[in-house]
Amino acid sequence: KSTTGEGASLSVTSDTVTDLAGNVGSAVTVDSIKVDKSAPAITFVSRLPLANANGWNNSDITLNWSCSDAVSGVGEGGATVTKTVSTEGANQSKSATCTNNAVLTSSDTQTAISIDKTAPTLSLNGTDIEITAGQTFVDPGATASDNLDADINSRIVTTSSVINTVVGSYTVVYSASDLAGN
């Protein structure tokens, strides 16, 4: 005999049997049969911290999933799975797997994980510039580069603060930011 369905306390009763001499054996019942044919449920719960408006993070990311199984219960690994992504890179992914007590598994993958922890570098395009009276100050400019973001040059912010409007010292401040906010 076999049992169908799923459950933690199924039972099967055998048929009676008769031997050639006409003796009839009694039926046997086997109780407490555990059957789980369904994989556990895995649900993505959270990503902390959330990505910024550009889809980037500048720190490690923690991903959390929950696992559940109504038939045999959650097995190895428990009811929650936590994974940390710490490697710099664009469009990374991270997977988690839940296992039930029948050793069936379910997996989920989170994608579009972009981490950049490194600030862009900034270099001046020229050296000190001397200006004589009556000349216009020419901003030498700066070039920014980033380990992951090819679009860094479009986000250079240049702020010029003129200390003296005649011959003298000028201060030019350059800054650059990448998509991750570094």
0.95 surpassed by pTM = no
pLDDT in tens, 98-114: 999 888 899 999 999 99
pLDDT in tens, 148-173: 866 665 555 555 545 455 565 666 67
pLDDT in tens, 60-86: 999 999 999 988 889 888 899 999 999
CA dihedral sign, ordered 179, 115, 47, 175: negative
User: Do 174 and 158 meet the contact criterion of CB atoms below 8 Å apart?
Assistant: yes
